[in-house]
Structure 1
Amino acid sequence: MQGLKFVADVGGTNIRLAMVENGRISLIKKYLCKDFESIDDAIIHFQNEVTDQAFVAGCIAIACPVNDDIVTMTNHTWAFSISALKAHLSLAHLFVINDFTAVAHSLPTLNHKQVVQIGEGHALEHGNIAVFGPGTGLGVEHLTYTDGGWHTLDGEGGHVDFAPTEEDDLIIWQYLYKKFGRASAEEVLSGRGIVNIYRAFCEHEGDSPKLSEPSEVTSAGLDNTDKHARKAITQFCQIMGSFAGNLAVNLRTTGGVFIGGGIATRLQDFFVKSRFREKFEAKGDMAHYVKNMPTYMINEPDHGLLGALAFLTQQTQRLQNDE
């Protein structure tokens, strides 16, 4: 397909846009969503800033469900019709996907400089891939290769049950069960999750919590200025290992399990030295099954845009093949 294309990565606070040139992203711009009344305005502003030509196609990765023509953001006021946006921008093709779908599509394109491998293992070409990211919630996505290229297997993996594997996990599980009547993975592996872990340990030892924000818990844990915060980030990394191992067993992730999200990035040095990989492989009789599957932390800030590009490239190629 000839003509200029764009990709966008839209969160609750920022929208990042880039042009596609020679199969690569370029001229990346970041804007505050609140500075624009609509997503149309943001894209048109970007277009006017970087080129005097019209876009012919684009792909938008956005942090909310994308199930039909109407897209309504969860953590921002923007809402739009995909067909109306396509018409307003005079595009031949417009694809709108969930942001974690974009993250998944970026993974096969990343090189060794864009990820940090945790432990041993070797990825098989076209092997199944899983990715999860503790952030505001817990995003989970799966990727499998077919004759038509890479395809995501959508679901709500962040809402599965939290499975304790040791006594400290039981302390967390009991706290969550008493508070919510159920302990889900998202209530452990997320921003509020790391606070839940911290409060569970405080309550268990009869201490009043002094910290209330995820950033406070991670900072105090990394600085080792609060024993409960230190224990919280330690357990957080271990639980991530167990959860990653469950994804590996479920999907036979010979292409690897990837970890993204702001919290994991903030903990990177601590995380690399943690028991994450040990807990990943601690699957009893199935330890041999996951032992050679690699685990990675994503170390590429533009992976959302790269994933939108990968999806756009695959879809436009499919359309050309159908002509």
Structure 2
Amino acid sequence: MSIGPRERAWFVACALAACTLDCATPLPGGSAIRSPTDLAGAVALERYTEQHLRAAGTEIRRAATREELERSLADVRVLYLGDHHTDTILHREHLKLLDRLARLRELVFALEAIPQQDEALTARFLRGEIDESVLRLSTSERGERSWFVGSLDGAYYVELLRFARAHGIPVHGLEVTPRPSLEARDAPMARTLRRVEATYPSRLIVVVVGEAHLLGDGHLHMRAGLPSVIVGARLRAPSAVDAQSVPPTDADFLETNAGVFYFAKAPREHRTTTPGVCAATCGRRACSRAVARYSCAPPEYVTLDISCREQPPGTLAHPARGGVCSYQHQTCECT
């Protein structure tokens, strides 16, 4: 992805102008643009995410059953489960899959939700020496963001640990603290995975990590270099590809032409400048929810919101500032 000096200057001017009206401009993850440094970080995040999206495939190759996915795991060392940290529907699909896998294979978990420095604390929880309240309190008092409290789906991450305790599954932490940039986290996470792989040669390593970490030049999958299967978090593709390639089926999984699987029933994100095409994203089924988000930015930076979100689809005029946004990002959830 590239952008010329003229477009970059326009983008910066537009974003900073918006910030003068609202100096705590929300971003999709709930953070805010408060300074040029924040803006640069948002642009870097977008570039990092787009690398993953480009590598994840451009069309759906086939529908697949759970049994087919399970067979594909027979000769690999790692199952990557791409995470969308607030997505309760996706997390339910994760847990259903793990329940099946625990009956078929010995597993070991590598979780981004667990900081590496908290592995000993987590091990105490797995042994039954401390309960969930102590675990939550200890992680929240550490100063870094805890995955068990706050705006994330903390119940899911606690449930993963409950599941591990019930099934005798070892747990290793992937989170690097203090938190560096996204790119800087991939190398130490990959080293951890290689260490876990050497420690548990007969167990399938289940990695739960933010989806953007998975694919792209220098991202986790490439750095770890281990035979693996990837299950992405949210299917994101151009509307024309979606309409033609997503089969109208009740399959368990959809596989892209890059070999990445997606839960067929999980929410899908659909980015488009054409309103009213959410049904195609969901395999030509009606969506249960459609949220339009508008960005005062060139299309290259499609996820950088400038405070115009959850407006009626097709309304590109910025309702609060009277301007016209240049891009519409529509999120469609299929349940």
Instruction: Point out the structure with the larger helix share.
Output: 1
Same fold (TM over 0.5): no
Structure showing greater relative contact order (alpha-carbon pairs closer than 8 Å, 6 or more residues apart) = 2
